[in-house]
Structure 1
Amino acid sequence: MKHPVVFGLFFAFIWFLVGVNAATDPANVDYTCSPTKPCSIGCCGKNNVCGLGPSYCAPANCTSSCDQKSECDPGWGKQWSSAEACPLNVCCSKFGFCGTTSDFCGTKTVSKPSCGGSTSNGRTIGYYEGWSTTRACDGMSPQSIPVGAYTHLNYAFAYIDPSSFAVAPMSESDLGLYSQVTNLKESNPGLQVWISIGGWSMNDAGQPTASTFSNLAGSSSAQNAFFKSLLQFMTTYAFDGVDIDWEYPVAPERSGKPADYQNYPTFLSNLKAALGSSGHNYGLSITLPSSYWYMQNFDIVKMEPIVDWFNVMTYDLHGTWDSTDRFIGPFIYAHTNLTEIDQTMDLFWRNNISPSKVTLGLGFYGRSFTLTDPSCTTAGCPFSSGGNPGPCSASPGTLMDSEIEAIIAAGGAKVTLDKVAAVKTVVWDNNQWVSYDDAETLSMKIQYANNHCLGGTMVWAASTDSGNATASSSLQSLNGLQKKSLFGGGSTPVEEPLSQCVWGDCNGNCPKGSTPVKTGTGKSASNAAIYSGCPSGKSRYYCCPGNNAPTCSWKGTAPFCRNPNCDKNEVQIATDQNGGGHGCWFNHKSLCCTSTVEDAAAGQCEWTGTAPFCATGSGHASCPSSKPDFVTNSLYGAGGESVCLSGYKSFCCTDPEPYQNCAWTTRAHSFLAPFTCSTGCPAGQQIVAESYRDHDSNGPCFHDTASYYCCDQFNQTAPTTDPPNFCVAADTDYVLSGSADPDGNVADILELYWYEDDCFSIPNTGDPDSMKRSLYSPTSQRPIAEGPGGFNDGLPKLCNERDECFKILDAESDLDYQRLLAIITNGTAVSDESLEPRARTPKICLPNKKTNNFVAKSYPGVLPLSARGRQYYGVVKSGAKAALCNSLPLILGARQLAVKYVTEHVFELQTPAQFANSMLSKLLPSGAQAPGAAANYDWTQVFGKGGYMFQTWKQLGISIPAGLTGDTPADALYNALGTTNDMANLQILDAPTNSLKAGVWQIFTNIISAKRFSAESPQGQVEFINRLYETLISYLNDGPVQQSLTHGYSTMKTIMAALDSSPNVNTLPQSSFASAWQTFCADFFLEMQGNLQDFLQGKLKQVIVYWGSSAAVRKFTAAGSAATLKALQAKQANLATNVVINRGFIT
């Protein structure tokens, strides 16, 4: 049956004027008392009934519990009341209790603000949980946050050290995430990232931080320490504001103290002053509860002028905790409810709080219950416990939006809309119930916020959204942020002084300091605009500095648009088939402007090639002698032209080119949004051209998006005030295939093993940059220029340095390349099996200059591996602050844009050959002699042509070990090291780290060649060190990677043990093949670690000299060079303990 509940914010309400045992229904309460039976609330009158005020509590009228006082004074006098008025200006009933319903207020009403329009759209805050990446599934890395739906991100949480009052991370892993989140601002103009300090658990009883907020608010010395630490923290990690989440002051059950009520506003005032000191202008917000019980302890009237806004947690109104609440009990109610939210908002209106300061809380999760009676599924029905935990959230009574979405998609669930509460509920699996918001109910709540003039909305949490960002996408469409790409790269132009014309955003806005250029004069004048990449009905203005703007006109008359050519004294700015408002049936129009300094860059370039036949085949049109430099190509030219049916149009410029740092934007997300491209260029860049197909993948762009060719905004005078850039990328791609992975994203490339053809030797003094490969003879190579499509154009070529690629020319090598491609990407094998030994063939070097080879198996590319659940290992580089660029922390999560990835064999394919070569040479990797019988054994019996590793299991007289597949031990080994059916040894790793790992694994004494390292910039040298010191070591020691290492090691050991048991094998006397393998691996990985430590020690000594020099100070400032020097010295001091490979898998 349903349980009738009278909802209000005040569980202090007592029916009429009597004492109540609230654990029972009011209709059954015993209100009587006596001199020996005192009241639980109230005084016992002479009529043996409980009540308050002088009629019951005066000495002449009271028989017991006579010291009770009412909450407020309805007119009795202060001696009978705890307070004269109610907190938060709520009503005092005639019985002395505080509340907001008619039982307390009678006919009095609250004046509510009323608006139309979209007041809440200006501020949309998403909280990001720092622990979200640790979930078993549906974790969200910072790079996967759908930032386009938000104006602000709040990182949750940081703590406060209870002793020093310094800002402290909630978890050590947060230190590697802060910068990753704030770095999202670089590609999302206008986004702010704040740090949220506190959270529910910080005030939990028993925690060392339980009373930290109270102690901080009550001590000026503690505040001074906190402010100093906070400002340094904000500067270091580039946060824009701070959100104080104190849950909750005063309340004793939340570790609060009575003094908190007065201390909190004072603390906030001091904090606001500190955040505005020393030239800073950091923002400040606080979170507020939705319940009166806790909100009464916040002096919101005093706080309002101090904070920028209040974040009101209008969610978690109900949950499993209701079962112990004497006024609600174990009955299901939605965790968010517009009726109760409206009651919360009344608390603000009663105190004349500006609605612009109020941010409405929304939830991207639900509270779930297990129903007592499966036939009773509506609000008020009983529950027996929290709902079953989700596979990812793993918490009874809570489900993330991603889990709720999966439940509905699985079928069989019943979804119901509660229009009054503006919430939906789901019933499934007979007795499971959850409440949640979707696009429909979010729309209701946002409409409520707009109707009452609220200043914004906030979400707990952006990181509990589904993988395809369903809720965030709905939110984005509701809050007016459609102009931004959901996964980043918004088009809002940077607001800085301009000396060059640029395209504005889709809302008809121009950057500060510029105005729209006019076409025509007088009454016929209009703003020059194009519609490219904008939603229907919107356009971009061509914006120029007002002091010297050109005059423009559209050339080419609709509908045929013949001769859309600019005059000699004009430059072509854009092409569009609808320019000026009348569309072309054929051809296009050109926006032609007079040549000025502001559009000079455009005048130095032009598009060549005429549609529909722009060039032959897949080539591009030629450049004229006046503009000989080919820059890029496009099917659409500048963007609005007729499309090429064959070939490409060419963008040709003078020499030197006027544009710098140009690149085509890519799809928003190759998996989650494959047909959503960009809506503009990143901050600081301008649109030079656009295409309605993704330039790299050639896939179509939908949803009012396009692929843009973006270049740095042209300046007449080079800026002189830019801070030094500490994050210049090093050329880490020194072992890199130039061939695209056809199974993956266009940025994915084939993993190429540079060293499979080498005989393993220690010490390995070779040059890792060497092109020495028998497969690719140096005589068959020549440098080639990059053609259309760039680095990953799929041509058979190898690249060993930046812009130094070598094409394979001879027919044999080309066949080998095709075989390599087939082997790696599950392609059809070349019919000529004689080529097989050259396809991924680690070499075994036998005596008398004879060789043998292992042969690798087909394995999945990046995309199919990702589809099986593998996440992406990579790094995130920080901004231009030295303190942030002195590390390259490893991250595991979603794909990062513009990063090349490979399918990485963790236990390298050449390792069995390294073992074979080590045993054949009688030496371990360290140079020590192979132990005992291994040194005297003829290992050609195992690894030679027809050796035991290459005999069938039948020939060996034994069965294949359980869990393995393959006709021979070698087949079984390489099947286990990476195939479509066995991916335990496969991970997805960014290509630069993978390339360095290859050199480390080969135990090169010169992991990075001296020539290459010396040629790098100082910042690039630091990146080399960081990628080896931090990224690679963290990768090798990470849990999933250690599992891969275990898999590779144990597979080989199992095979060696099988050979030990074979009756047809001449085994090692008084030893075993398995023990020889274990001895080799222990020595190999220890030698690899020691070699890496030695290499880093030498390079650290080298770079420390520079960063301590006056040259570094001149180039990077004293503070910047000192910060870098300090970080490098710390790495040097801790090298032996930090650069350690976990070898626990060797057993």
Structure 2
Amino acid sequence: MISTDISRWLFLLISLSTWITISISKEMRVVCYYTNWSVYRPGVAKFTPQNINPYLCTHLIYAFGGFTKENTLKPFDKYQDIEKGGYAKFTGLKTYNKNLKTMLAIGGWNEGSARFSPMVASAERRKQLVRNAIKFLRQNHFDGLDLDWEYPAFRDGGKPRDKENYAALVQELREEFDRESEKTGRPRLLLTMAVPAGIEYINKGYDIPKLMKYLDWMNMLSYDFHSAYEPAVNHHAPLFPLEEANEYSFDAELNIDYTIQHYIKLGADPSKLVLGIPTYGRSYTLYNPEAHDIESPADGPGTMGEYTRENGYLAYYEICEYIKNDGWDVEQINPNAMGPYAHKGNQWVGYDDIDIVRRKAEYVVERGLGGIMFWAIDNDDFRGTCHGKPYPLIEAAKEAMVNAYGLSNENLISPPSKPIKPKARSRPKTTTTERVVYVQAEKEVETTPSRRRNRFKTKSKEDSSKEIIKPRRTVSKPEHKPEPKSEESSTYSSLIVTPSYTTPEPPSTPDMAGGFKCEDEGFYPHPKDCKKYYWCLNGAGDSGIVAHQFTCPAGLYFNKAADSCDYTQNVLCNKKLQKSSTKTTKATTTTTTSAPTTSGRLPTSLFATSRAPPRISPITRPTTTTTTTTTTTTEAYKV
């Protein structure tokens, strides 16, 4: 009898263990990069953190940051990231979705190897960077760090020892992240890495077994297998090869499946490989407009798009507009191997459409990979002008992944469930007014390259089992009919909130505060006035750290614990000091402005079944007494 009971308990324990293992293995990530230069795009293409749906992705990565010669992290665009509140708006999205994780990526294509290589070569510099990275990430409320060195041992400044030194940096970062978490009781900072698809880049620059030990996951840059500067047109993100491999065929290696198998052979854990999906296409100018098949002669990169303004590069929403409104022809060789291409005259672009991103999501499930990643969230059709709903590529891939695994939404890490309306509570009365301001990009900058380059052709003698796709061609003139809209097209999409979001605006132009001495960058309370606080920022030139004074909206005090303005009952304040200080405080005018956008108004019917998340917290970065002049350009839509 006892033996039977023990057997039953063992069976239950084994069953429970198996169920837990399966559940954990089925947790999937939806990682989305946000490019901070997209704020400078003109008109309806302007994209800020306030345009991001906080329930769309499980992890958001802010691209890019950098590091200084003193081995501390820094913003690449201090004006947008700090002064205009880019970081604060981005991490503030967690106010709406408590399961969302926001991370900072450092590096990128433009950063190259010139600074990374000497930094990782010095144990002392690595130590300084590790210590300073934690401070910077915590101070700016990021949940982790994404390393984006493109690429170790290559490009100007790269050294053969980069591979070993880069792995050492990763180990030291992870160990210090662990120690900091244990010491403070805070959740451990995440550590991820963007890794290439080019075989020689991988072999010479990345110690895969060691990196796997310390990274939470790798974001695979599984696109740009072909560039727009090649002599023949080709699709830049094929899932499988179109032809059977032979010793003379380079293209047999230039596809996602080959790259995935190569990583696994080197010791990669499939569950830590997150597959990158492009929301952009690579475009060419055809040498002969009549010859537009794959591998037809090219005469350089394609003409730049109206919004992205980079030769050889088009966002999905630009491609979609060309097809829908400008009569481009679409051709599909095989939807299981690669996305379609579109062409008109001498212009040609290969891109991923809804069908191929679904297939790639299914591939992730079939191979037991760790999720999907998108470069970038601002290149998808985020306004929903082509398919009647925003983010068609990201939504399609997520839905396919959920369906392929037979999961519920809860199996996604940070599931994008419908927000729950909080209990009503009284709010203090304020004199804050709300107004909508429409502005152009605040300053002109040179167009920033896409920063994602993977092409590196190599021959390999390794045999690899591949799924060979026999070509078949479909030519179509797409019908310009919007997709039928249903109240609840799928379990997953019905949980996604589609309107644009606006997080509180940070101060636009701070007041100089000469009487306060900053010991370090960050937010500090006013010593005598609970309504006021200081934002200490690195000044121009050799001015050092400069204090800027701000005043909270009426009825709110500065809360150091949250580094924001908060209800008075949540803040400990010396009432006597507050009473005496208010007598000498100058009157201030505070306004709360919604997100400045330059979009055209979308039909309200698109949002008929959607619910915006409730504004749970009063925490805000108020504007100051300083006023700024803005230029009205076009009507924005507001839900």
Retained in 2: the 8 A contact 1:122–1:456?
Answer: yes
Q: TM-score, normalised by structure 1?
A: 0.34
SS in 2 for 1:338: coil
How far 1:478 moved relative to its partner?
A: 2.5
Aligned residues: CA RMSD: 4.4
- The C-alpha deviation readout for 1:672-708, integer Å capped at 9, x for no partner, is xxxxxx93416xx4xxxxxxxxxxxxxxxxxxxxxxx
Retained in 2: the 8 A contact 1:730–1:1019?
Answer: no
How far 1:448 moved relative to its partner?
A: 1.4
Unaligned runs of 5+ in 1: 1-115, 204-209, 323-329, 483-504, 510-533, 535-667, 669-677, 686-709, 713-727, 737-750, 752-861, 874-893, 900-989, 995-1017, 1031-1094, 1126-1131, 1133-1137
Retained in 1: the 8 A contact 2:115–2:157?
Answer: no
Could you say if the C-alpha distance between residues 118 and 438 of structure 1 is closer, same or farther in structure 2, counting changes exceeding 3 Å? Answer: farther
Could you say if the C-alpha distance between residues 415 and 232 of structure 1 is closer, same or farther in structure 2, counting changes exceeding 3 Å? Answer: same
Counterpart-to-counterpart distance in 1, 2:213 and 2:228: 37
State yes or no: 1:167 paired with 2:73.
Answer: yes
* Residue equivalent to 1:275: 177
* Residue equivalent to 1:308: 216
Counterparts of residues 742-781 of structure 1 (less than 5 Å):
none
* Residue equivalent to 2:191: 284
How far 1:364 moved relative to its partner?
A: 0.4
State yes or no: 1:731 paired with 2:430.
Answer: yes
Counterpart-to-counterpart distance in 1, 2:24 and 2:291: 39
How far 1:118 moved relative to its partner?
A: 12
Higher relative contact order (CA 8 A, sep 6+): 2
How far 1:456 moved relative to its partner?
A: 1.0
Identity %: 26
State yes or no: 1:448 paired with 2:357.
Answer: no
User: Out of 105, 112, 124, which is 1:196 matched to?
Assistant: 105
Could you say if the C-alpha distance between residues 431 and 267 of structure 1 is closer, same or farther in structure 2, counting changes exceeding 3 Å? Answer: same
Could you say if the C-alpha distance between residues 347 and 254 of structure 1 is closer, same or farther in structure 2, counting changes exceeding 3 Å? Answer: farther
Counterpart-to-counterpart distance in 1, 2:432 and 2:630: 30
Could you say if the C-alpha distance between residues 460 and 730 of structure 1 is closer, same or farther in structure 2, counting changes exceeding 3 Å? Answer: farther
Paired letter, 2:59: H
User: Out of 294, 300, 313, which is 1:379 matched to?
Assistant: 294
Counterparts of residues 687-1086 of structure 1 (less than 5 Å):
710-711=423-424, 731-733=430-432, 896=501, 1021-1022=531-532
* Residue equivalent to 1:123: 29
Counterpart-to-counterpart distance in 1, 2:530 and 2:571: 14
SS in 2 for 1:214: helix
Paired letter, 2:141: A
Paired letter, 1:343: Y
State yes or no: 1:473 paired with 2:395.
Answer: yes
State yes or no: 1:134 paired with 2:46.
Answer: no
Could you say if the C-alpha distance between residues 1139 and 184 of structure 1 is closer, same or farther in structure 2, counting changes exceeding 3 Å? Answer: closer
Retained in 1: the 8 A contact 2:303–2:312?
Answer: yes
SS in 1 for 2:194: strand
Counterparts of residues 399-414 of structure 1 (less than 5 Å):
399-414=314-329
How far 1:231 moved relative to its partner?
A: 0.9
Counterparts of residues 510-549 of structure 1 (less than 5 Å):
none
Could you say if the C-alpha distance between residues 1141 and 188 of structure 1 is closer, same or farther in structure 2, counting changes exceeding 3 Å? Answer: closer
User: Out of 176, 180, 194, which is 2:89 matched to?
Assistant: 180
How far 1:993 moved relative to its partner?
A: 11
Counterpart-to-counterpart distance in 1, 2:502 and 2:119: 42
Counterpart-to-counterpart distance in 2, 1:174 and 1:353: 34
Retained in 2: the 8 A contact 1:730–1:1021?
Answer: no
- The C-alpha deviation readout for 1:37-75, integer Å capped at 9, x for no partner, is xxxxxxxxxxxxxxxxxxxxxxxxxxxxxxxxxxxxxxx
How far 1:369 moved relative to its partner?
A: 0.6
Counterpart-to-counterpart distance in 2, 1:337 and 1:1019: 60
* Residue equivalent to 2:599: none
Counterpart-to-counterpart distance in 2, 1:186 and 1:1096: 22
Retained in 2: the 8 A contact 1:367–1:399?
Answer: yes
State yes or no: 1:358 paired with 2:267.
Answer: no
Could you say if the C-alpha distance between residues 1141 and 120 of structure 1 is closer, same or farther in structure 2, counting changes exceeding 3 Å? Answer: same
Retained in 2: the 8 A contact 1:120–1:454?
Answer: no
How far 1:440 moved relative to its partner?
A: 0.5
Counterpart-to-counterpart distance in 2, 1:140 and 1:1141: 23
User: Out of 339, 342, 351, which is 1:423 matched to?
Assistant: 339
Paired letter, 2:180: S
How far 1:1141 moved relative to its partner?
A: 6.8
- The C-alpha deviation readout for 1:409-438, integer Å capped at 9, x for no partner, is 10411112232532111112x111111112
Could you say if the C-alpha distance between residues 145 and 1020 of structure 1 is closer, same or farther in structure 2, counting changes exceeding 3 Å? Answer: farther
Could you say if the C-alpha distance between residues 120 and 246 of structure 1 is closer, same or farther in structure 2, counting changes exceeding 3 Å? Answer: farther
Q: Which has the larger radius of gyration?
A: 1
Paired letter, 2:531: Q
SS in 2 for 1:276: helix
- The C-alpha deviation readout for 1:191-215, integer Å capped at 9, x for no partner, is 1111111111001xxxxxx422112
- The C-alpha deviation readout for 1:87-125, integer Å capped at 9, x for no partner, is xxxxxxxxxxxxxxxxxxxxxxxxxxxxx9996761110
Counterpart-to-counterpart distance in 2, 1:872 and 1:477: 34
Retained in 2: the 8 A contact 1:317–1:336?
Answer: yes
Could you say if the C-alpha distance between residues 1144 and 268 of structure 1 is closer, same or farther in structure 2, counting changes exceeding 3 Å? Answer: closer
Could you say if the C-alpha distance between residues 1144 and 299 of structure 1 is closer, same or farther in structure 2, counting changes exceeding 3 Å? Answer: closer
* Residue equivalent to 1:679: 418
Could you say if the C-alpha distance between residues 120 and 141 of structure 1 is closer, same or farther in structure 2, counting changes exceeding 3 Å? Answer: farther
Counterpart-to-counterpart distance in 1, 2:258 and 2:24: 22
* Residue equivalent to 2:60: 153
Counterpart-to-counterpart distance in 2, 1:393 and 1:272: 36
How far 1:897 moved relative to its partner?
A: 5.2
Q: TM-score, normalised by structure 2?
A: 0.59
Counterparts of residues 314-333 of structure 1 (less than 5 Å):
314-322=222-230, 330-333=231-234
State yes or no: 1:437 paired with 2:352.
Answer: yes
Counterpart-to-counterpart distance in 1, 2:375 and 2:35: 9
Could you say if the C-alpha distance between residues 219 and 431 of structure 1 is closer, same or farther in structure 2, counting changes exceeding 3 Å? Answer: same
Alignment size in residue pairs: 429
Paired letter, 2:239: L
How far 1:378 moved relative to its partner?
A: 1.3
How far 1:277 moved relative to its partner?
A: 1.9
Counterpart-to-counterpart distance in 1, 2:408 and 2:291: 51
How far 1:458 moved relative to its partner?
A: 0.6
Retained in 2: the 8 A contact 1:119–1:454?
Answer: no
Could you say if the C-alpha distance between residues 136 and 439 of structure 1 is closer, same or farther in structure 2, counting changes exceeding 3 Å? Answer: same
* Residue equivalent to 1:755: none
- The C-alpha deviation readout for 1:297-350, integer Å capped at 9, x for no partner, is 21112211111111110101111232xxxxxxx001111011211111121222
How far 1:476 moved relative to its partner?
A: 3.5
* Residue equivalent to 1:239: 142
Paired letter, 2:109: W
How far 1:481 moved relative to its partner?
A: 9.9
SS in 2 for 1:148: coil
User: Out of 332, 337, 344, which is 2:259 matched to?
Assistant: 344
- The C-alpha deviation readout for 1:457-505, integer Å capped at 9, x for no partner, is 11100111122222233234234399xxxxxxxxxxxxxxxxxxxxxx9
Counterpart-to-counterpart distance in 2, 1:211 and 1:361: 26
Counterpart-to-counterpart distance in 1, 2:420 and 2:168: 44
Could you say if the C-alpha distance between residues 426 and 1116 of structure 1 is closer, same or farther in structure 2, counting changes exceeding 3 Å? Answer: farther
Could you say if the C-alpha distance between residues 457 and 413 of structure 1 is closer, same or farther in structure 2, counting changes exceeding 3 Å? Answer: same
Query: More deviation in 142-151 or 366-375?
Result: 142-151
Could you say if the C-alpha distance between residues 447 and 120 of structure 1 is closer, same or farther in structure 2, counting changes exceeding 3 Å? Answer: farther
- The C-alpha deviation readout for 1:126-167, integer Å capped at 9, x for no partner, is 000011111123121112123433111111010011x20110
How far 1:351 moved relative to its partner?
A: 2.1
